[in-house]
Amino acid sequence: MGLVDVNNKVNFYDGKVRVVDTAGKELYKYSPPEYLDYVAEHVEPWSYLKFPFLKKIGWKGFIDGQNSGLYHATPLSRLNAADGMATPRLRKNMNGCTAHLEGNLFMHSGHALGKTNRTFIFC
């Protein structure tokens, strides 16, 4: 999950929220005011925390993979949700990473909550 512009490039201030699955396929794209149409919160009796999940997939517990409603909204997941960077300087740096990693900018990785096949590697 990450904020993107009209070209699906990383955006930090304006744009739409883009949600991609573990293979990088776009699931949803929505405006921030539509947040409650896409995200809900689950409460566990053993915690004061609320656990956000994708409403259309549903709460299925703490499982990972394609069928999980859990999501990441971290710096790496924001990059994974985008198709690239919006500015020439950032694109140049990203291209340098791609060349360093032999064209594979998004490397396979597993996470504790929800496995993903795309994890950004910083160069």
Residue 103 clears pLDDT 80, i.e. is over it: no
Say yes or no to pLDDT of 28 above 60. yes
The answer, yes or no, to whether residue 115 has pLDDT greater than 90, is no
Residue 22 contacts by C-beta under 8 Å, 6 or more apart in sequence?
65, 66, 114, 115, 116, 117, 118
Residues 6+ apart with CB under 8 A from 48: none
For the stretch 73-84, pLDDT in tens is: 888 788 788 888
Identify the pLDDT of residue 26: 93
91-101 pLDDT, tens digit per residue, is 777 766 655 55
Short-list 74, 75, 49, 79, CA closest to 62 = 49
Among 3, 2, 5, which Cα is nearest to 86's? 5
Supply the pTM of this predicted model.
0.73
Q: What is the pLDDT of residue 96?
A: 64
